[in-house]
Structure 1
Amino acid sequence: MSRGAVRVLRLGPRPYAEALRVQERCVGAARAARAGPIPVPVPVAVPNPGESVVLSEPAEPVYAWGLRGAPGAEAAERLRARGAGLAAARRGGRITFHGPGQLLAFPVLDLRRRRLPLRGYVAALEALVLRLCRRFGLAAARALPPPFTGVWMGDSKLCAIGVHCGNHITSHGLALNCCTDLTWFDHIVPCGLEGKGVTSLSRELGRHVTVDHVLEPFLDAFQEVFDCTLVFSEDPGD
Protein backbone atom coordinates (compact mmCIF):
# COMPACT_ATOMS: atom_id res chain seq x y z
CA MET A 1 0.00 0.00 0.00
CA SER A 2 1.42 3.37 -1.07
CA ARG A 3 0.98 6.71 0.65
CA GLY A 4 -0.48 8.09 -2.57
CA ALA A 5 0.94 10.17 -5.38
CA VAL A 6 3.25 13.18 -5.20
CA ARG A 7 3.13 15.71 -8.01
CA VAL A 8 6.45 16.42 -9.73
CA LEU A 9 7.09 19.89 -11.17
CA ARG A 10 10.17 19.75 -13.43
CA LEU A 11 11.07 23.38 -14.03
CA GLY A 12 14.37 22.85 -15.81
CA PRO A 13 16.83 25.78 -15.79
CA ARG A 14 15.10 28.64 -13.96
CA PRO A 15 16.18 31.58 -11.81
CA TYR A 16 16.41 30.58 -8.15
CA ALA A 17 13.80 33.18 -7.18
CA GLU A 18 11.32 31.71 -9.65
CA ALA A 19 11.79 28.21 -8.23
CA LEU A 20 11.08 29.64 -4.77
CA ARG A 21 7.87 31.25 -6.02
CA VAL A 22 6.65 27.95 -7.50
CA GLN A 23 7.50 26.25 -4.23
CA GLU A 24 5.45 28.77 -2.26
CA ARG A 25 2.42 28.10 -4.45
CA CYS A 26 2.85 24.40 -3.72
CA VAL A 27 3.08 25.13 0.01
CA GLY A 28 -0.20 27.07 -0.24
CA ALA A 29 -1.85 24.11 -1.96
CA ALA A 30 -0.57 21.73 0.70
CA ARG A 31 -1.91 23.92 3.49
CA ALA A 32 -5.29 24.12 1.78
CA ALA A 33 -5.36 20.33 1.55
CA ARG A 34 -4.80 20.15 5.30
CA ALA A 35 -8.24 21.64 5.91
CA GLY A 36 -9.78 18.17 5.72
CA PRO A 37 -9.24 15.18 8.02
CA ILE A 38 -5.92 13.34 8.04
CA PRO A 39 -6.30 10.67 5.34
CA VAL A 40 -5.35 7.03 5.84
CA PRO A 41 -2.91 5.32 3.42
CA VAL A 42 -4.55 5.11 0.01
CA PRO A 43 -4.15 2.97 -3.11
CA VAL A 44 -1.46 3.93 -5.61
CA ALA A 45 -3.99 5.25 -8.13
CA VAL A 46 -5.36 7.86 -5.72
CA PRO A 47 -3.45 11.19 -5.72
CA ASN A 48 -2.20 12.53 -2.42
CA PRO A 49 -3.69 16.04 -2.41
CA GLY A 50 -1.30 18.88 -1.79
CA GLU A 51 2.04 17.06 -1.90
CA SER A 52 4.61 18.07 -4.52
CA VAL A 53 8.30 18.09 -5.29
CA VAL A 54 9.73 21.04 -7.26
CA LEU A 55 12.85 20.24 -9.30
CA SER A 56 14.99 22.88 -10.96
CA GLU A 57 18.49 23.79 -12.07
CA PRO A 58 19.48 27.36 -11.16
CA ALA A 59 19.89 29.30 -14.41
CA GLU A 60 22.26 31.87 -12.90
CA PRO A 61 24.71 31.87 -9.98
CA VAL A 62 23.27 32.96 -6.65
CA TYR A 63 24.41 32.92 -3.05
CA ALA A 64 21.59 32.12 -0.64
CA TRP A 65 21.48 32.00 3.14
CA GLY A 66 19.08 30.59 5.69
CA LEU A 67 17.64 31.80 8.95
CA ARG A 68 20.94 31.89 10.81
CA GLY A 69 22.43 34.96 9.25
CA ALA A 70 23.04 36.99 6.14
CA PRO A 71 26.50 38.11 5.02
CA GLY A 72 27.58 41.56 6.10
CA ALA A 73 27.27 44.48 3.71
CA GLU A 74 30.94 44.36 2.65
CA ALA A 75 30.89 40.60 2.07
CA ALA A 76 27.61 40.85 0.17
CA GLU A 77 29.06 43.50 -2.12
CA ARG A 78 32.10 41.32 -2.85
CA LEU A 79 29.87 38.42 -3.82
CA ARG A 80 27.65 40.63 -5.97
CA ALA A 81 30.75 42.00 -7.74
CA ARG A 82 31.58 38.47 -8.88
CA GLY A 83 28.37 38.40 -10.89
CA ALA A 84 26.21 36.40 -8.51
CA GLY A 85 22.78 37.19 -7.18
CA LEU A 86 21.99 37.26 -3.47
CA ALA A 87 18.91 35.74 -1.86
CA ALA A 88 17.50 35.09 1.61
CA ALA A 89 15.66 31.79 2.07
CA ARG A 90 13.31 30.64 4.82
CA ARG A 91 15.26 27.48 5.65
CA GLY A 92 17.80 26.23 8.12
CA GLY A 93 21.49 26.58 7.41
CA ARG A 94 23.95 29.32 6.57
CA ILE A 95 25.17 30.70 3.26
CA THR A 96 25.70 28.42 0.28
CA PHE A 97 25.88 28.62 -3.50
CA HIS A 98 23.31 27.65 -6.12
CA GLY A 99 24.03 27.67 -9.82
CA PRO A 100 24.06 25.84 -13.15
CA GLY A 101 24.91 22.17 -12.92
CA GLN A 102 23.15 21.76 -9.57
CA LEU A 103 19.90 19.90 -8.92
CA LEU A 104 17.57 21.71 -6.53
CA ALA A 105 14.78 19.59 -5.07
CA PHE A 106 12.10 21.21 -2.92
CA PRO A 107 9.74 18.52 -1.54
CA VAL A 108 6.46 19.91 -0.19
CA LEU A 109 5.23 17.08 2.02
CA ASP A 110 2.81 16.76 4.92
CA LEU A 111 4.86 15.30 7.77
CA ARG A 112 1.83 14.93 10.03
CA ARG A 113 0.08 12.82 7.45
CA ARG A 114 3.25 10.79 6.99
CA ARG A 115 3.79 10.55 10.77
CA LEU A 116 7.38 11.56 10.20
CA PRO A 117 9.35 13.75 12.64
CA LEU A 118 11.46 16.56 11.22
CA ARG A 119 14.79 14.88 12.00
CA GLY A 120 13.45 11.70 10.40
CA TYR A 121 12.54 13.71 7.31
CA VAL A 122 16.08 15.12 7.02
CA ALA A 123 17.43 11.59 7.40
CA ALA A 124 15.08 10.47 4.62
CA LEU A 125 16.47 13.15 2.30
CA GLU A 126 19.98 11.95 3.09
CA ALA A 127 18.93 8.34 2.46
CA LEU A 128 17.45 9.37 -0.89
CA VAL A 129 20.74 10.92 -2.05
CA LEU A 130 22.75 7.98 -0.71
CA ARG A 131 20.62 5.62 -2.82
CA LEU A 132 21.32 7.81 -5.83
CA CYS A 133 25.05 7.75 -5.09
CA ARG A 134 25.03 3.96 -4.86
CA ARG A 135 23.42 3.80 -8.30
CA PHE A 136 26.29 5.88 -9.66
CA GLY A 137 28.86 3.66 -7.94
CA LEU A 138 29.81 6.05 -5.12
CA ALA A 139 29.86 3.54 -2.30
CA ALA A 140 31.90 5.88 -0.08
CA ALA A 141 29.16 8.53 0.09
CA ARG A 142 27.91 8.95 3.65
CA ALA A 143 25.75 10.98 5.98
CA LEU A 144 27.36 12.33 9.14
CA PRO A 145 25.78 12.33 12.60
CA PRO A 146 24.02 15.50 13.85
CA PRO A 147 24.62 18.40 13.87
CA PHE A 148 25.98 17.79 10.35
CA THR A 149 23.51 17.34 7.53
CA GLY A 150 23.79 16.45 3.87
CA VAL A 151 25.74 13.80 1.99
CA TRP A 152 29.52 13.74 2.02
CA MET A 153 32.49 12.25 0.21
CA GLY A 154 35.21 12.27 2.85
CA ASP A 155 35.34 15.83 4.20
CA SER A 156 33.69 17.34 1.12
CA LYS A 157 29.97 17.95 0.90
CA LEU A 158 28.31 16.57 -2.21
CA CYS A 159 24.73 17.50 -1.33
CA ALA A 160 23.56 20.27 0.99
CA ILE A 161 20.27 20.00 2.90
CA GLY A 162 18.35 22.91 4.37
CA VAL A 163 14.65 22.63 5.16
CA HIS A 164 11.78 24.61 6.56
CA CYS A 165 8.70 23.11 8.19
CA GLY A 166 5.63 25.15 9.07
CA ASN A 167 2.38 23.58 10.29
CA HIS A 168 3.95 20.19 9.41
CA ILE A 169 4.36 21.19 5.73
CA THR A 170 7.94 21.03 4.41
CA SER A 171 9.65 23.38 1.98
CA HIS A 172 13.15 23.95 0.60
CA GLY A 173 15.13 20.72 0.64
CA LEU A 174 18.40 19.78 -1.03
CA ALA A 175 21.02 20.97 -3.53
CA LEU A 176 23.01 18.22 -5.25
CA ASN A 177 26.17 19.22 -7.10
CA CYS A 178 26.18 17.42 -10.45
CA CYS A 179 28.53 19.40 -12.71
CA THR A 180 28.53 22.64 -10.70
CA ASP A 181 31.45 25.05 -11.08
CA LEU A 182 32.84 24.51 -7.59
CA THR A 183 35.07 27.61 -7.69
CA TRP A 184 32.00 29.65 -6.70
CA PHE A 185 32.24 28.05 -3.26
CA ASP A 186 35.77 29.44 -2.80
CA HIS A 187 34.37 32.86 -1.89
CA ILE A 188 32.29 31.73 1.11
CA VAL A 189 32.44 29.28 4.01
CA PRO A 190 29.83 26.86 2.64
CA CYS A 191 27.08 26.24 5.18
CA GLY A 192 29.30 27.88 7.81
CA LEU A 193 31.53 24.78 8.08
CA GLU A 194 35.17 25.76 8.49
CA GLY A 195 37.72 23.28 7.17
CA LYS A 196 35.27 21.35 5.01
CA GLY A 197 35.25 21.15 1.22
CA VAL A 198 32.68 20.83 -1.54
CA THR A 199 32.54 18.28 -4.32
CA SER A 200 30.31 17.14 -7.19
CA LEU A 201 29.23 13.95 -8.92
CA SER A 202 31.34 14.95 -11.92
CA ARG A 203 34.47 15.39 -9.80
CA GLU A 204 33.97 12.14 -7.89
CA LEU A 205 33.15 10.06 -10.97
CA GLY A 206 35.74 11.63 -13.26
CA ARG A 207 33.21 12.32 -15.98
CA HIS A 208 30.64 14.96 -16.87
CA VAL A 209 27.38 14.28 -15.02
CA THR A 210 24.57 16.73 -15.75
CA VAL A 211 21.33 17.41 -13.92
CA ASP A 212 19.48 15.61 -16.72
CA HIS A 213 21.60 12.49 -16.12
CA VAL A 214 20.54 12.49 -12.48
CA LEU A 215 16.80 13.21 -12.69
CA GLU A 216 15.49 9.71 -13.44
CA PRO A 217 17.50 7.85 -10.78
CA PHE A 218 16.76 10.67 -8.32
CA LEU A 219 13.01 10.28 -8.83
CA ASP A 220 13.26 6.49 -8.59
CA ALA A 221 14.99 6.87 -5.22
CA PHE A 222 12.40 9.47 -4.14
CA GLN A 223 9.57 7.00 -4.76
CA GLU A 224 11.34 4.30 -2.80
CA VAL A 225 12.23 6.43 0.21
CA PHE A 226 8.90 8.26 0.51
CA ASP A 227 6.75 5.27 -0.47
CA CYS A 228 4.80 7.07 -3.19
CA THR A 229 4.09 7.18 -6.88
CA LEU A 230 4.80 10.27 -8.95
CA VAL A 231 2.45 12.30 -11.13
CA PHE A 232 4.28 14.58 -13.56
CA SER A 233 3.21 18.14 -14.28
CA GLU A 234 5.14 20.51 -16.52
CA ASP A 235 2.96 23.54 -15.73
CA PRO A 236 3.75 25.20 -12.36
CA GLY A 237 0.30 26.73 -12.45
CA ASP A 238 -1.50 23.37 -12.49
Structure 2
Amino acid sequence: MKSYINVIDLGIISYEEGLRQQQKYVDLVKQSKNSSVSLNYLLALEHRPVYTVGIRSKVYSEEEENRLKKLGADFHRTSRGGLITFHGPGQLVLYPICDIRRISTKPLGVRSFVEKLEQTIIDSATSGFQIENVGRTENTGVWVDKIRKLAAIGIAVQNGVTYHGLAINCNTELSWFDNIVGCGIEGVTTTSLTQETQKSISVQEARPIFLENFAKNFDCLLC
Protein backbone atom coordinates (compact mmCIF):
# COMPACT_ATOMS: atom_id res chain seq x y z
CA MET A 1 0.00 0.00 0.00
CA LYS A 2 1.26 3.45 -0.87
CA SER A 3 2.21 5.81 1.95
CA TYR A 4 0.60 9.21 2.35
CA ILE A 5 2.97 12.14 2.78
CA ASN A 6 1.65 15.44 4.07
CA VAL A 7 3.07 18.45 2.21
CA ILE A 8 3.62 21.40 4.54
CA ASP A 9 4.18 24.82 2.93
CA LEU A 10 6.32 26.93 5.27
CA GLY A 11 6.91 29.90 2.97
CA ILE A 12 10.13 31.90 3.43
CA ILE A 13 11.71 31.27 6.83
CA SER A 14 15.06 31.55 8.58
CA TYR A 15 17.32 28.52 8.72
CA GLU A 16 16.95 28.43 12.50
CA GLU A 17 13.17 28.28 12.18
CA GLY A 18 13.59 25.57 9.57
CA LEU A 19 15.55 23.48 12.08
CA ARG A 20 12.83 23.96 14.69
CA GLN A 21 10.13 22.90 12.24
CA GLN A 22 12.11 19.84 11.19
CA GLN A 23 12.55 18.68 14.77
CA LYS A 24 8.85 19.21 15.44
CA TYR A 25 7.90 16.90 12.57
CA VAL A 26 10.71 14.42 13.31
CA ASP A 27 9.19 13.99 16.77
CA LEU A 28 5.72 13.44 15.28
CA VAL A 29 7.03 10.76 12.91
CA LYS A 30 8.92 9.03 15.73
CA GLN A 31 5.76 8.91 17.83
CA SER A 32 3.86 7.25 14.97
CA LYS A 33 6.48 4.61 14.11
CA ASN A 34 4.85 1.86 16.17
CA SER A 35 1.33 2.61 15.00
CA SER A 36 -0.42 0.99 12.06
CA VAL A 37 -0.35 4.27 10.11
CA SER A 38 2.98 6.07 9.92
CA LEU A 39 3.04 9.85 9.66
CA ASN A 40 5.31 11.28 6.96
CA TYR A 41 5.86 14.89 5.96
CA LEU A 42 7.46 16.87 3.15
CA LEU A 43 8.32 20.43 4.17
CA ALA A 44 8.44 22.86 1.22
CA LEU A 45 10.03 26.26 1.77
CA GLU A 46 12.59 28.91 0.93
CA HIS A 47 15.24 30.14 3.34
CA ARG A 48 16.44 33.63 4.06
CA PRO A 49 20.11 33.97 3.02
CA VAL A 50 22.29 31.53 4.97
CA TYR A 51 25.53 29.59 4.57
CA THR A 52 25.46 26.15 6.18
CA VAL A 53 28.19 23.61 6.79
CA GLY A 54 27.64 19.88 7.27
CA ILE A 55 29.26 17.33 9.52
CA ARG A 56 32.12 16.78 7.05
CA SER A 57 33.29 20.38 7.66
CA LYS A 58 35.44 19.62 10.68
CA VAL A 59 37.17 22.99 10.56
CA TYR A 60 35.60 26.23 9.39
CA SER A 61 37.34 29.16 11.03
CA GLU A 62 35.64 31.91 12.96
CA GLU A 63 37.30 34.35 10.56
CA GLU A 64 35.63 32.69 7.58
CA GLU A 65 32.32 32.55 9.41
CA ASN A 66 32.48 36.29 10.14
CA ARG A 67 33.44 37.05 6.52
CA LEU A 68 30.31 35.33 5.26
CA LYS A 69 28.09 36.97 7.87
CA LYS A 70 29.30 40.40 6.71
CA LEU A 71 27.78 39.64 3.31
CA GLY A 72 24.34 39.74 4.93
CA ALA A 73 23.76 36.02 5.39
CA ASP A 74 23.37 33.88 8.49
CA PHE A 75 25.81 31.04 9.19
CA HIS A 76 24.94 27.65 10.69
CA ARG A 77 26.78 24.43 11.51
CA THR A 78 24.41 21.51 10.92
CA SER A 79 23.97 17.76 11.38
CA ARG A 80 23.45 17.02 7.68
CA GLY A 81 25.96 15.35 5.39
CA GLY A 82 28.12 17.38 3.05
CA LEU A 83 30.26 20.51 3.26
CA ILE A 84 29.40 24.20 2.83
CA THR A 85 26.52 25.49 0.73
CA PHE A 86 24.19 28.47 0.44
CA HIS A 87 20.42 28.68 0.83
CA GLY A 88 18.33 31.71 -0.02
CA PRO A 89 15.29 33.14 -1.80
CA GLY A 90 14.65 31.68 -5.23
CA GLN A 91 15.73 28.22 -4.10
CA LEU A 92 13.16 25.46 -3.62
CA VAL A 93 13.99 23.54 -0.45
CA LEU A 94 12.30 20.20 0.27
CA TYR A 95 12.79 18.46 3.61
CA PRO A 96 11.34 14.91 3.67
CA ILE A 97 10.60 14.09 7.32
CA CYS A 98 9.80 10.42 6.93
CA ASP A 99 10.11 6.94 8.39
CA ILE A 100 12.71 5.63 5.95
CA ARG A 101 11.20 2.10 6.19
CA ARG A 102 7.69 3.27 5.29
CA ILE A 103 8.01 6.26 2.97
CA SER A 104 7.86 4.01 -0.10
CA THR A 105 6.15 0.74 -0.95
CA LYS A 106 9.47 -1.00 -0.18
CA PRO A 107 11.81 -0.23 2.75
CA LEU A 108 14.69 2.04 1.76
CA GLY A 109 18.27 2.36 2.92
CA VAL A 110 20.03 5.71 3.11
CA ARG A 111 21.76 5.25 -0.26
CA SER A 112 18.57 4.29 -2.09
CA PHE A 113 16.74 7.17 -0.39
CA VAL A 114 19.34 9.65 -1.66
CA GLU A 115 19.24 8.09 -5.14
CA LYS A 116 15.48 8.66 -5.28
CA LEU A 117 15.98 12.29 -4.29
CA GLU A 118 18.56 12.65 -7.06
CA GLN A 119 16.23 11.02 -9.59
CA THR A 120 13.41 13.35 -8.55
CA ILE A 121 15.59 16.32 -9.48
CA ILE A 122 16.86 14.75 -12.70
CA ASP A 123 13.35 13.88 -13.90
CA SER A 124 12.02 17.34 -13.02
CA ALA A 125 14.84 19.17 -14.80
CA THR A 126 14.72 17.02 -17.93
CA SER A 127 11.01 16.38 -18.46
CA GLY A 128 9.69 19.48 -16.70
CA PHE A 129 12.14 22.06 -18.04
CA GLN A 130 13.81 20.29 -20.99
CA ILE A 131 17.33 20.74 -19.63
CA GLU A 132 19.84 18.37 -21.24
CA ASN A 133 22.76 16.43 -19.75
CA VAL A 134 21.40 16.46 -16.19
CA GLY A 135 22.72 13.71 -13.97
CA ARG A 136 24.92 12.41 -11.19
CA THR A 137 28.67 12.58 -10.74
CA GLU A 138 31.00 11.12 -8.12
CA ASN A 139 30.04 14.15 -6.01
CA THR A 140 26.71 14.58 -4.26
CA GLY A 141 23.92 16.61 -5.78
CA VAL A 142 22.64 16.90 -9.33
CA TRP A 143 24.70 18.43 -12.10
CA VAL A 144 24.43 19.76 -15.66
CA ASP A 145 27.24 18.66 -18.00
CA LYS A 146 28.97 17.29 -14.87
CA ILE A 147 30.41 20.73 -14.00
CA ARG A 148 27.44 22.97 -13.13
CA LYS A 149 25.66 22.16 -9.89
CA LEU A 150 21.89 22.54 -10.13
CA ALA A 151 20.83 21.09 -6.78
CA ALA A 152 22.35 20.18 -3.44
CA ILE A 153 21.45 17.16 -1.32
CA GLY A 154 22.34 16.58 2.31
CA ILE A 155 20.33 14.37 4.64
CA ALA A 156 20.49 13.04 8.16
CA VAL A 157 18.66 10.16 9.83
CA GLN A 158 17.51 10.22 13.46
CA ASN A 159 16.21 6.90 14.81
CA GLY A 160 15.09 5.87 11.34
CA VAL A 161 13.52 9.25 10.52
CA THR A 162 14.96 11.34 7.69
CA TYR A 163 15.45 15.09 7.85
CA HIS A 164 17.29 17.84 5.96
CA GLY A 165 16.93 17.16 2.23
CA LEU A 166 17.43 18.92 -1.09
CA ALA A 167 17.70 22.43 -2.47
CA ILE A 168 17.06 23.28 -6.13
CA ASN A 169 18.19 26.60 -7.57
CA CYS A 170 15.23 28.09 -9.42
CA ASN A 171 15.89 31.82 -9.81
CA THR A 172 18.42 32.10 -6.99
CA GLU A 173 20.91 34.98 -7.03
CA LEU A 174 23.94 32.87 -7.94
CA SER A 175 26.52 35.47 -6.86
CA TRP A 176 26.04 34.22 -3.28
CA PHE A 177 27.90 31.06 -4.32
CA ASP A 178 30.92 33.06 -5.52
CA ASN A 179 31.97 33.55 -1.89
CA ILE A 180 32.48 29.84 -1.14
CA VAL A 181 33.89 26.66 -2.63
CA GLY A 182 30.49 25.02 -2.90
CA CYS A 183 30.45 21.60 -1.22
CA GLY A 184 34.26 21.79 -1.12
CA ILE A 185 34.65 21.09 -4.85
CA GLU A 186 37.14 23.22 -6.81
CA GLY A 187 36.70 24.01 -10.51
CA VAL A 188 32.92 23.75 -10.76
CA THR A 189 30.16 26.33 -10.85
CA THR A 190 26.59 26.64 -9.62
CA THR A 191 23.67 26.97 -11.98
CA SER A 192 19.88 27.34 -11.80
CA LEU A 193 16.76 26.42 -13.72
CA THR A 194 16.59 30.05 -14.84
CA GLN A 195 20.17 30.09 -16.11
CA GLU A 196 19.88 26.77 -17.92
CA THR A 197 16.58 27.58 -19.65
CA GLN A 198 17.20 31.31 -20.12
CA LYS A 199 13.70 31.84 -18.72
CA SER A 200 12.79 33.16 -15.29
CA ILE A 201 11.58 30.12 -13.34
CA SER A 202 10.19 30.85 -9.88
CA VAL A 203 9.93 28.52 -6.92
CA GLN A 204 6.15 28.64 -7.30
CA GLU A 205 6.41 27.46 -10.91
CA ALA A 206 8.92 24.72 -10.15
CA ARG A 207 7.34 23.32 -7.00
CA PRO A 208 4.42 21.30 -8.50
CA ILE A 209 6.76 19.66 -11.01
CA PHE A 210 9.16 18.55 -8.29
CA LEU A 211 6.35 17.34 -6.05
CA GLU A 212 4.90 15.27 -8.89
CA ASN A 213 8.25 13.61 -9.55
CA PHE A 214 8.86 13.07 -5.83
CA ALA A 215 5.59 11.14 -5.62
CA LYS A 216 6.50 9.12 -8.72
CA ASN A 217 10.01 8.20 -7.57
CA PHE A 218 9.02 7.32 -4.01
CA ASP A 219 5.81 5.60 -5.15
CA CYS A 220 3.80 7.54 -2.57
CA LEU A 221 0.76 9.81 -2.40
CA LEU A 222 1.10 13.49 -1.51
CA CYS A 223 -1.68 15.22 0.37
TM-score range, shorter chain: over 0.9
Distance in 2, matches of 1:17 and 1:104, equals 14
Quick one: which of 136, 140, 152 aligns to 1:143? 136
Correspondence for 2:144:
153
Structure 2 residue 54 is matched with structure 1 residue 66? yes
The AA in structure 2 aligned to 1:162 is G
Quick one: which of 173, 191, 205 aligns to 2:197? 205
Please say if residues 158 and 198 of structure 1, whose CA atoms lie closer than 8 Å, have aligned partners that are also in contact.
yes
**CA distances 1:170-226 after superposition (whole Å, capped 9, x unpaired):** 100001000011111111111111111110000000011110011111111111111
Q: TM-score scaled by structure 1?
A: 0.88
The AA in structure 1 aligned to 2:111 is R
**CA distances 1:111-160 after superposition (whole Å, capped 9, x unpaired):** 22341111101100000011111211013111124xx1111012011000
Distance in 1, matches of 2:195 and 2:60, equals 28
Distance in 2, matches of 1:183 and 1:72, equals 22
The AA in structure 1 aligned to 2:144 is M
Distance in 2, matches of 1:5 and 1:139, equals 32
Correspondence for 2:175:
183
Correspondence for 1:170:
162
Please say if residues 27 and 108 of structure 1, whose CA atoms lie closer than 8 Å, have aligned partners that are also in contact.
yes
Gaps of 5+ in 2: none
Q: TM-score scaled by structure 2?
A: 0.93
Q: In angstroms, what is the RMSD of aligned CA positions?
A: 1.3
Greater Cα shift, 181-190 or 63-72: 63-72
Structure 2 residue 7 is matched with structure 1 residue 8? yes
Deviation at 1:35, TM superposition (A): 2.9
Correspondence for 1:31:
30
The AA in structure 2 aligned to 1:149 is T
The AA in structure 2 aligned to 1:213 is E
Instruction: Give the ranges of 4+ consecutive aligned residues of structure 1 lying more than 6 Å apart after TM superposition.
Output: none
Please say if residues 38 and 99 of structure 2, whose CA atoms lie closer than 8 Å, have aligned partners that are also in contact.
no
Structure 2 residue 98 is matched with structure 1 residue 109? yes
What is the aligned residue count? Answer: 217
